[in-house]
Structure 1
Amino acid sequence: GLRLYSVLGKRTGHEQDPLPRQTVEVGSVGYRKPVGNTAEPAYGDAQAAKPGFADASAMGGMRSIANADRQFDAQLFIEGAKSAYKLILEAFWRGDKEALRFLCDDDVFESFAEEIDARNSRGETLENRLVRIEEAQIVDASYDHPMARISVRFDADIAALVKNADGAIVGGSLTDAVETKDIWTFFRDVKSNNRNWKLDETDAV
């Protein structure tokens, strides 16, 4: 249940199409034109970025990714990125290295693992909770054959609670959520049969 398998930027074939079917007018990178139109799919259409969806500066990179990977769907990527954000945070909070190893590249995994080991050595446990993701926005995208990279800014509210080895609260509160702003970069080899995107870099805003 913790596998990210194909959750980012891929159509599964089970999504229901909206009715009536129409061409997506905004943020259409990676979207196909409706059935009945004989033109080629509009992978490279340069549409204005929808607020909360992508910065205009990222659109060129997303077009390049969409042209290289015909299954790429930018809006599905954002939904998958939000799921990945939750999965990775929760795996880190509970110290699940196995899940993190699958979801992250080696450098990010090692950073998370070191912090988990330090936390365990202090006898501390986290009871954090992702209250909500206020916004997830693509702020950068690039394609350098065969690697695709997409950076997403997450604005979220997180409730954090730290307990010591005796179970006593030593910091934080589950009733007062803290506003956090992070930029996470995901990458994938678009020529690989492996459809997984992995976390490549994390930065605080």
Structure 2
Amino acid sequence: MDPSVIFFFALAAFLSYRLFTVLGTKGGHEPEENERPRVVPTAEARTEAAEAEPETEEPRPSKPLPAWAQVIREDDPRFDPAAFQAGAKAAYEMIVTAFARGDLSEVADYLDPSVRKAFEVAIDGRTQAKQTLDVTFVGIERADVVDAHRQSAHIEVTVDFASDQIRVTRDAGGEVIDGDPARIDAVRDRWTFARPLRSKDPNWTLVATGGDARD
């Protein structure tokens, strides 16, 4: 599963219909031999025609763009904030799962070298202690963007994640030394993603973890 933020665009085709009704009145004019007489629709026919005419829906007002998204739109007019947040959730779960598993190969391209190094040090420490970490995601409640700004030649976006996880650390013998396999923990994380300015690559890179996420 690709943790990058992928933008999906859908095109909707709308068909318009117009109902034409020929109305006429009798009186003062007799149809000529080859002329077809006009027919006055009955009240029932007019009612049926009105019911058959499709109703025109009022256009829904567009949702105001969040301030943080406006910062990115200045660099990327096609930026979709909802797609970004959905992609951030997917990336968060994939990276946390890879870290717990102790194998970063599938997510390495989306980690800044400094972040990857920090993860590798933690994984090595766990391996040397002969410990294992099991993480099960019950669900990600939200991914709230709390900041977006230009930093040098990059755009940085900070996201607060709120998720429910089951986290269990076991020793070499399989005994639980931290966590509870029967308990769901509320986990809060603050991560920062970055992307070069004017980049045609939609992927974002995790450049920082940690900090206190807001409740």
Q: TM-score, normalised by structure 2?
A: 0.70
Structure 1 residue ranges (4+ consecutive) displaced by more than 4 angstroms after TM superposition: 19-23
Residue of structure 1 equivalent to 2:69: 62
Q: Please say if residues 181 and 204 of structure 1, whose CA atoms lie closer than 8 Å, have aligned partners that are also in contact.
A: no
Q: Which of 111, 114, 120 matches 1:104?
A: 111
Corresponding residue number in structure 2 for 1:43: none
* Residue 63 of structure 2 is aligned to residue 25 of structure 1: yes
Does the aligned pair in 2 maintain the 1:159–1:178 contact within 8 Å?
Answer: yes
1:70 counterpart SS class: coil
Of the three residues 67, 73, 79, the one matched with 1:72 is 79
The amino acid across from 1:140 in the alignment is D
Matches of 1:71 and 1:161, distance apart in 2: 41
Secondary structure at the aligned position of 1:127 is classed as strand
The equivalent position to 1:167 in structure 2, one of 148, 151, 174, is 174
Cα offset, 1:126, TM superposition:
1.1
Q: What aligned pairs does 1:138-177 form with structure 2 within 5 A after superposition?
A: 138-144=145-151, 146-177=153-184
C-alpha change, 1:16 and 1:96, in structure 2 (3 Å) is farther
Residues matched between the structures, number:
169
Q: Higher strand proportion, which one?
A: 1
Match of residue 33 from structure 1: none
Structure with larger Rg: 2
Q: Distance in 2 between matches of 1:16 and 1:115?
A: 46
Structure 2 unmatched ranges of 5 or more: 15-56
- Is 1:183 the counterpart of 2:179? The answer is no
Aligned to 2:7: 11
SS at match of 1:25: coil
Matches within 5 A, 1:19-58: 22-26=60-64, 28=65, 49=66
- Quick one: percent identity of the two aligned structures? 28
Residue identity matched to 1:11: F
Paired residue for 1:81, among 88, 97, 100?
88
Is residue 2:94 matched to residue 1:94?
no
Partners of 2:137 and 2:205 in 1: CA distance:
20
Amino acid at match of 1:142: H
Report the Cα offset of residue 132 of structure 1: 1.6
Q: What is the aligned-residue RMSD (CA, Å)?
A: 2.4
